[in-house]
Structure 1
Amino acid sequence: MSGDNKGDKIKFIIFKISDNKKEVVIDEVSHDPDYEVFRTRLDNTRDANDNPMPRYAVYDVEYDLGGGEGKRSKIIFISWVPSNTPTLWSMIYASTREHLKNALNIHTSIHADDKGDIEWKTVLAEASGGKAGK
């Protein structure tokens, strides 16, 4: 994902469904290459009553295949719906997930309902088809 400035690479974009429940909007764009920053941002999303809130995200996963095969980069779609999300929001996110994923033309995805589902090793394995990190 490229930013406005050359070399200014976007690392992740987090999307949310608007409060009026009518559209998907960008919640955050970041250039921070630290995966834990991204993971923490998803995990800390709360509503006014401190209920966990779902989000969609795209993350630019960069990895090395090793064995002289070189570096690769793949955009992965993450549907983040914590298990204790209010039911209405869970249903709304479930019903719009595929539409957004298809609109973004991203084929690799993870559906996550707890922080363990989005550990780096899981995301890396999904993005690389299990080829990286071996």
Structure 2
Amino acid sequence: MANAASGMAVNDECKLKFLELKSKRTHRFIVFKIEEKLKQVVVEKLGGPSQSYEDFAASLPANECRYAVYDFDFVTEENCQKSRIFFIAWSPDDSKVRSKMIYASSKDRFKRELDGIQVELQATDPTEMGLDVIRSRAN
């Protein structure tokens, strides 16, 4: 099903891998890319459960837009182990305008396909999605 606003479909693998992250915790993060020629969102990279936040941040290209999902584990002030699933719309300042527009117009539809996202972040540079930001938004 293509998105009326941007014409982007969501590849089934995106939903499948997100389900694995959410229920089986087989992935720490997933990076999604819009394949313009295919007119669909596809999985670009999977991060294993042992990978760190730094590995995740390093997997986002410096000058290209991406969507990403990150499973953040943390301990509350009451000493409870918790997890939050973050959806990150990565749109660096120096990426192409066309790319930014396509990602922006497809975001809401794509996000609806991933049932279980708890926190959304929009980031244009690494500081906007730093670990400190993630921590503060997780609680």
Are positions 1:33 and 2:51 aligned together? yes
1:56 counterpart residue number: 67
Higher mean Cα deviation, 70-79 or 28-37? 28-37
Aligned residue for 1:62, secondary structure, equals strand
Aligned structure 1 segments of 4 or more residues deviating by more than 3 angstroms = none
Deviations 1:8-64 (A, max 9, x none): 73100000000416100000011143111111111xx26xxxxx1100000001000
**What percentage of residue pairs aligned between the two structures are identical?**
31
Count of aligned residue pairs for this structure pair: 117
Are positions 1:24 and 2:34 aligned together? no
Q: Considering only CA atoms, is the larger Rg found in Structure 1 or Structure 2?
A: 1
* Structure 1 residues not aligned, in runs of 5+: 47-51, 129-134
Aligned residue for 1:9, secondary structure, equals coil
Deviations 1:77-122 (A, max 9, x none): 0000001111100000000111111110224100000010110010
**CA-atom RMSD, angstroms?**
1.9
* Structure 2 residues not aligned, in runs of 5+: 1-18
For the residues of structure 2 that align with 1:92 and 1:39, how far apart are their CA atoms? 22
Q: Which has the higher helix share?
A: 2
Give TM-score, length-normalised by structure 2. Answer: 0.77
For the residues of structure 1 that align with 2:45 and 2:58, how far apart are their CA atoms? 13
Are positions 1:112 and 2:112 aligned together? no
The amino acid across from 1:91 in the alignment is: M
Give TM-score, length-normalised by structure 1. Answer: 0.79
